Structure 1
Amino acid sequence: MLSNKQRKYLRGLANSLKPMIQMGKDGNKDTFVRQLDMMLENHELVKVNVLETSPMSANEAANYFVDRLNAEYVQDIGRKFVLYRQAQEDPEIVLPK
């Protein structure tokens, strides 16, 4: 569970990120979930753009993937959301205590 200070730090890092992946009508399919899982492992902090064709809102999608991928919710703004998960090997992001 992220503290408010850690979440604020991650929001600052995510501010300059461009969305790495777009979620459309097939966003909850296994292939999309595997892609997002690999991105979290490689990048730790991932911004996702939710297209209008998606059956879920950004908040619903973020909560769905938090549960499914054992990730941490950072934020959702409009049609975008940000997730964080520390890499198993060689984590790059060091969270404040």
Structure 2
Amino acid sequence: MLTGKQKRFLRAEAHHLNPIFQVGKTGTNDNMIIQINEALEKRELLKVSILQNCMEDKNEVAGELSEGTGAEIVQIIGNIIVLYKESKENKQLQLP
């Protein structure tokens, strides 16, 4: 579980990032979760965009992604989800 100070730090780090995954009409699936998990191992912090035609609620999508990848939800703002998962091999971010 992330503290408030850690979440603020991660939000600041994620500010300049562009979303690299999009959740569309079909919602999340196993393949998407595997790909996001691999990207989290390389980057630790990433954004996921939810398209307007997505039938699922953004909080449900965030929960599914978090549960499937073991990542922490840093922020949900608009239709953007920011996820963080500490990398085992490519440690880049040092949390306060």
Q: TM-score, normalised by structure 1?
A: 0.91
Q: Which secondary structure does the structure 2 equivalent of 1:61 belong to?
A: helix
Counterpart-to-counterpart distance in 2, 1:30 and 1:68: 8
Runs of 4+, deviation exceeding 3 Å: none
Match of 1:3 in 2: 3
1:38 matched to 2:38? The reply is: yes
1:59 matched to 2:20? The reply is: no
Letter of the 2:24 counterpart: G
Size of the aligned set, in residue pairs, is 96
Q: Percent identity over the alignment?
A: 39
Cα-Cα RMSD: 1.1
Q: TM-score, normalised by structure 2?
A: 0.92
Counterpart-to-counterpart distance in 2, 1:91 and 1:32: 23
Quick check: 2:74–2:83 contact (8 Å CA) kept in 1?
A: yes
Give deviations 1:68-87, integer Å, cap 9, x for gaps.
11110100111111000000
Which 5+ residue runs of structure 2 have no aligned equivalent? Answer: none
